[in-house]
Amino acid sequence: MRKSFLVLALIYGMMLAGAAYWQLYSDLDESPANPRYYLMFRQERGPIFDGCGRTLAFSAAEDGVYVRCYAAPSLSHVVGYFHERYGITGLERLYQEELSQGRSLFTTLDLELQKRAEELLQGVNGAVVALRPATGEVLALVSSPWVDGSALDENWPDYLADVRSPFLNRATQGLYPPGSTVKPIVYWAAAALGRVDDETSWSDPGVLNLPGGMISNAGGRAHGQISIAEALAYSSNVVFAELAVDLEEQLLKCFRLFGLGQQIDFELGNLEGFVPAGIASPYHAAQLGIGQGELLVTPLQMAQAAAALANGGILMRPYLVKELRGGLRLRQITRPQVVQELLPKSAANTVRKAMALAAREGTAQTHLSGSLDYAGKTGTAQTGRSAADHAWFIGFAPVDAPQVAVAVVIEHGGAGAAAAAPVGAEIMLKALQMSE
């Protein structure tokens, strides 16, 4: 009889284990067959704020049910959207559990800056990423076109039919050849390895002949005898091609140090891009040195690299979520994280000065050059097709103690100086105004 009881107890134990499995470990909450999943979309959830406490996402009561609303349409690429028919994306998805428990999420974004960038990208395909160099906080992240998380019902068929792919987050998932925006990194590599110094001067005949091909400056212009800083400011292809040929494999290593072709530990994820494993020929190296060849980067990677140059070579991890508050648990605060210290510090400072020169009198000049103290570098990336080139800009401001670093890409925008640089300058201006 004791054995019978033991068997009974054993079976009850198994029942208990089964209940524990389903109740505590199973993952059935988000099953589409679960009616609770749909109810979840009608319940109130925690708000999402920007770095200054302005509301980015909130639950609005409509006829007794809650509907999620967003402060700006471009936020759909960052904050995401939350809709019973179209699902959950972005931070809404990443922090689903916390938000559904009513906790509030404080992000690093600046709503005003985000809106300004949205305004500047209206009507073009492209992306803007603005970071705070000292910490890696993402101040704005806009990918154009976007879907409006507050008006999905009305526009969903249009979004699906849109050939410009409004669902694609170009800032983290868009891969572009970087063009001349890699030149600051090449310069940094040469400076860090002691291959150049301020006095080094180069003669630039406008064309560089190499076995396998020819590198020429934009418009075939010869710059004559110039310093390396001037070569950056005027974006001399010949000089940087020569530097790259000289650097060989070191060049690729430096690209990787700056995060190109590397996985970035970012909340929304980020494509790795492409940096080739080795250099095949001097011509290959020359092409890579001017940001062509098979190089592919995301705007977030370029923003991170620009921020590292602004921050004296300290590469910070970009992050979006500053803090979780509310509920029974303690506040969770994200701390800035150093990915890599790129030494020597003087190399970054040298590049910073050259980029400031580019903004003052070089190719990165804009209508704001007189009034705004910034550093920058433009890029015009050939797409390899007959379509217009991609326009790039990376920069930071103010030059001596940078508060903001940006990367701008405008697809088929033509020359970086004309299309992307003014956008970047406007964003830096707005960011400095906001931080005052």
Residues that bind other proteins (CB under 8 A): 1-2, 4-5, 8-9, 11-12, 14-16, 18-24, 26, 28-29, 31, 33-36, 39
Cα dihedral: 376, 380, 381, 383 (round 10):
150
CA distance 353 to 219: 26
Nearest distance, CB of residue 43 and other proteins, angstroms: 12
Tell me whether residue 8 or residue 343 sits nearer to other proteins (CB atom): 8
DSSP 168-232: S-HHHH--B--GGGGHHHHHHHHHHTTS--TT-EEEE-SEEEETTEEEE-GGG---EEEEHHHHH
Sign of CA dihedral 101, 104, 106, 110: positive
**Minimum distance from residue 45 beta carbon to other proteins (Å):** 17
Tokens 């508050």 sit on residue:
325
Cβ pair 325, 207 in contact under 8 A: no
Quote the CA–CA distance of 297 and 275 in Å, as a whole number: 9
Q: In angstroms, what is the minimal distance from the CB of 35 to other proteins?
A: 5
Decide whether 253 or 329 has the Cβ nearer to other proteins: 329
Q: For residues 288 and 279, is the Cβ–Cβ distance under 8 A?
A: yes
Minimum gap (Å) between residue 296 Cβ and other proteins: 40
Minimum gap (Å) between residue 5 Cβ and other proteins: 4
Nearer to other proteins, 38 or 248 (CB): 38
What sign has the CA pseudo-torsion 419, 425, 428, 429? negative
Answer whether 318's CB lies under 8 Å from 336's CB. no
Q: Order the strands of the 126-131 sheet from edge to edge.
A: 138-144, 126-131, 404-410, 390-397, 375-381
Residue nearer to other proteins on the CB measure, 22 or 163: 22
DSSP 76: G
**Which of residues 102 and 398 has its CB atom nearest to other proteins in the complex?**
102
Residue whose token pair is 């921020």: 307
As measured in angstroms, the least distance from the Cβ of 321 to other proteins is 25
d(CA 152, CA 170): 20
Distance CA(92)–CA(70), nearest Å, equals: 11
**Shortest spacing between CB 20 and other proteins, in angstroms:** 6
**Shortest distance (Å) from residue 96 CB to other proteins:** 15
Q: Which one, 18 or 213, has the nearer CB to other proteins?
A: 18
Q: Which is nearer to other proteins, 100 or 135 (CB)?
A: 100
Smallest separation, CB 97 to other proteins (Å): 12
Which of residues 39 and 214 has its CB atom nearest to other proteins in the complex?
A: 39
Virtual CA dihedral for 221, 193, 357, 391, nearest 10 degrees? 60
Nearer to other proteins, 7 or 343 (CB): 7
